Every structure is written in C-alpha cells, then in structure tokens.
Structure 1
C-alpha cells in the first residue's frame, strides 16, 4: 500500500510540475522581451475616427521581427507597417485612399533585468521615413528611447508595458516636425489550456499639437505549441475613452505571434 501511495504521489507531483511549466510557457508567449526569436503578424483596423466623416478609416498591418543576442541581454525588434488611409475630401465628398508601406522603426533593448518572473529593458529607437505616400508617414527621421517591462510572478496574471518617446531630427523640410510619446500597458489573465484574456491598447500623446488618444482594450487569445514553435493568436476590440483631436474611436487589434527556439 505504501508503494502505491508513493507511486500515485509521484504521478501527481509530475503532473503538477508539468502544469506549472505549461502555465509559465503560456505566460512567456506574451513577453515582448522573451529570449527567443519572434515573428509577429498584427493588424489594427480602425473603422471609426473621432471628429472625422464616417467614410474615414484606417487599417495597418504590422510585420515585426525580434532577435535576441548575448544570451538574451540584448534584443533587436524591427517593425514594418503596411497601411491603408481613407480620408474624405470635404469639398468634393470624394474619398481619397492611399495604401502601401509606412515608416519602418526599430529599437534595441538592453535587458537589465532578465528573470523568469520579471524582464525589463531600455534602449534607443529610430524611425525611418520609408512611407510610400505622404498620408502613410511623417517624412521625417525620428529618434528616441524605449522602455519595456514584463512581470510574470503569477502564472495566472501577467502585466507590463512599453513606453516610447521619439522626435524628428532630419527629413523633409516641408513636413512638420514630430514629438510624441506612446504608452502601451498590457495585461493578461490565463484561463487555462492556453486560453487567456488580454488587453494591450496604445496611448498616444502628440506634444506638437497637444492631441492625445487613450483607448482601453479587452480581448481573448489562444497559445498553441507545435513541436518547438509557439503560436499565439488573439483578437482585441479597443474603445477610446479619452481623446483630443482626430483619433481612432473604435478599433480591432488582432494578430498571430510566433516564437521560435533561440
């Protein structure tokens, strides 16, 4: 009987450790500073803007690649946007639509905290004026700094944020200069079996014209693992609670994030 009890106890212990490892793996699937190669395909659809005709809309698809270096101490992330901007002409009523490549950006993070339960990094960022059309970019070279943190002390609830600031320093002299900050809080609630609730809205503050946008988001995601690749699929509606100027009123943020062993 004693051997049976020890055997059953051993099976339960192994199962508990596996469940804890699975929960930790699911949590790290949303870590932007995870020590793994990542490829993200994300889309942000904005069917309604504030202070704009109902025909106006925005749609941006982001392709992001992240590569860690030096045992995860450094992480380079490159983002490439492809956008569609539809703006009605007030005088004619004709909707002017431009689509194509937007302004690419990259940042290099030095992860000064790199633990299973907490990751923090800071580093420079740069945005290049690669937009195919005027409406799709600023026409300026921009530089600044990024800070990101991810806290995963609980296997159930994780949180963190990405804060960036950048301003123009070169580019088209006929285009206005830029100076803005963006704060993206994120929060994840694990429901089990890879399913989780999430929010990752981006708050934007434009210091040149004092405009701002503060949305809130609540969506759902699913983490799957196929062999060694982690697939993270999600959809997240967002609604802007506070704003000034022409800003997204309602938007749908969705995507699929892939993590590969480094």
Structure 2
C-alpha cells in the first residue's frame, strides 16, 4: 500500500507543474471535514513501533470517499481500510495478517448555515463486517453516531473535532463485543502559498476493555490546484502521550493525498 501511495505522489507531481492560484476559500475548504465538495482520500497509518516489542509493525491504508447532498447540508462518507497487523511469533519471526477491514459509513446533517464561521454536523454511523481475514476486522455489525465541529473564523488558524461512537449490535458470536469512542481534534495553521502545519491525531478509547491511546501529531501539508481538482498532500508523525493496554503504538506516521473536486 505504501507503493500505491508513492505512485499517487508521482501522479500528483505531474499535475503540480500546471498548478493554479489557490483562493483563500479553496485553501480552507481543503481541510474542512464538512466542505460542500466531493472528496477522494488515500491515507496511510504506518506503525513502526509497538510498546511491547520494537520488532512489531502495523499498517492501515484507508480509501475514503465523501459525497455532499442537499446543497451541502448532508455529508456522506465511506471508509474502507486495508490492515496489516501482527498475529504472533515463532522461531522464524513475527507473523502478520493482511486484508480488508470493516467498511465504515456515516452521514451527518450540518445544522449551521453554509456561510457560518462555525460549522456543526451530526448523524448516524455504521460499520459493516467486510473484513476478509479474522485478524483485520471485528466480525461485528456496529451502530453509532458522529459529531463534527469546525471553525473557519480565522483565515490563519482553523480548529475543530470529529467525535464518533459505535457499539456492536450483531455479528459473530465468538468475537468480542465492541464499544469504542474516537476523538480527532483538528489544529491547522496556514503559512501561506498553500503550505500549512497540522495536528489531527486520532484518540482511541475501547470502552469494553478500558484500553486507550492518545497521540499528538505534528505535521506539514501542501495544498495545490490543478484544473478543477484541489490536491492536499501531507505527512504527520504522531507520538503517543498517554496509553493503557497492550498493542498500542508508540509512534505513527500518518500520510496522505486528499483530492477535492
């Protein structure tokens, strides 16, 4: 999956040569989770180190598609992960499993006006057990909700958060029940000419087992426009500042290419 991301970078680079001037509105919209624009995202979380053993690695590649409806009042978002996770070890070394994860979908209704400097959206969320490997999915149907808050009051500093909760409602009886809370704060500092600093690390809380992981991200991104498409490229190392439980990453490398059109 990292090779695919590299090929996408090459493809984007050929477009950058013909890049056009970005407006302030396009720059802010590029990182706005409630933007009234279709978006196709290719994102990757690489975990080079897990607390219990520096020999363990993990990777999650995300394909995400967002479609606004009703003149932007409703946002639908689909996310399909491809996961690689450690499953154990023997004399030959660490064993890994790779495969599709569980398809996630949410739809939020934006309560504020499109011209508002503070956007608030909320709606239902569902995860479907589409994993083709025992280790890469939960084996459970999950239902919950999502809340998104995003402020564009400042042209230089944008703040916001995505909060989701979901719990298992059906699925394989021999699999663990799921009750998870995720919080993703957004801090985006515009530096000019499409360059920005970012911190968007995802905080994970397993309410069934009390396991949690709270990372802090410090990254950089670049927004460019080619034709009618806005490309957003970024790299964000994320360092765990608090955690409890086994299997937690000490550092993650979050990278991606987001397309808006």
TM-score, scaled relative to structure 2 = 0.88
CA contact (8 A) 1:55 1:87 kept: no
Gaps of 5+ in 1: 1-18
Unmatched 5+ stretches in structure 2? 1-20
Cα deviation for residue 29 of structure 1 reads 0.5
* Residues 1:48 and 2:53 are matched in the alignment: no
For structure 1, which segment, 126-135 or 162-171, has the greater mean C-alpha deviation from structure 2 after superposition?
126-135
Map Cα deviations across residues 28-71 of structure 1 (whole Å, 9 max, x no partner). Answer: 11001100000000000011112x22221110110000001111
The total of aligned residue pairs comes to: 239
Within 1, Cα distance between the matches of 2:55 and 2:118? 44
Q: CA deviation at 1:124?
A: 0.3
Aligned to 2:75: 75
Per-residue deviation, 1:93: 6.4
After TM superposition, give the deviation of residue 137 of structure 1 in Å.
Answer: 0.9
Secondary structure in 2 aligned to 1:33? coil
Residue 24 of structure 1 aligns to a residue whose secondary structure is helix
> Within 2, Cα distance between the matches of 1:28 and 1:45?
26
The more displaced of 115-124 and 240-249 is: 115-124
What does residue 111 of structure 1 align with?
A: 110
Root mean square deviation of aligned Cα: 1.4
1:152-178 Cα distance to aligned partner (Å, 9 max, x none)? 111100010000000000000000101
Instruction: Output the CA distance in 1 between the equivalents of 2:132 and 2:50.
Output: 23
Partners of 1:219 and 1:24 lie apart in 2 by: 22
Give yes or no for contact 2:87–2:135 (8 Å, CA) kept in 1. Answer: no
Question: Which residue of structure 1 lines up, in the alignment, with residue 10 of structure 2?
Answer: none
**2:23 aligned counterpart, secondary structure:** helix
Q: Alpha-carbon deviation of 1:88?
A: 3.4
> 1:95 maps to which residue?
94
Inter-partner Cα distance in structure 2 for 1:218 and 1:42: 16
Q: Which residue of 2 aligns with 1:250?
A: 251
Aligned residue for 2:111, secondary structure, equals strand
When normalised by structure 1's length, the TM-score is: 0.88
Partner of 1:159: 159
TM-superposition CA deviations, 1:86-128 (whole Å, max 9, x none): 2432x65631111110111000011111434222110000001
Larger radius of gyration: 1
Q: 1:84-233, aligned counterparts within 5 Å? A: 84-89=84-89, 92=91, 94-116=93-115, 117-233=117-233
- SS of the equivalent of 1:95 reads strand
Is the contact made by 1:55 and 1:88 (CA closer than 8 Å) also made in structure 2?
no
Query: Does the CA contact (< 8 Å) of 1:84 and 1:99 recur in 2?
Result: yes
2:16 aligns with none
Extract structure 1 runs of 4+ deviating beyond 6 A. Answer: none
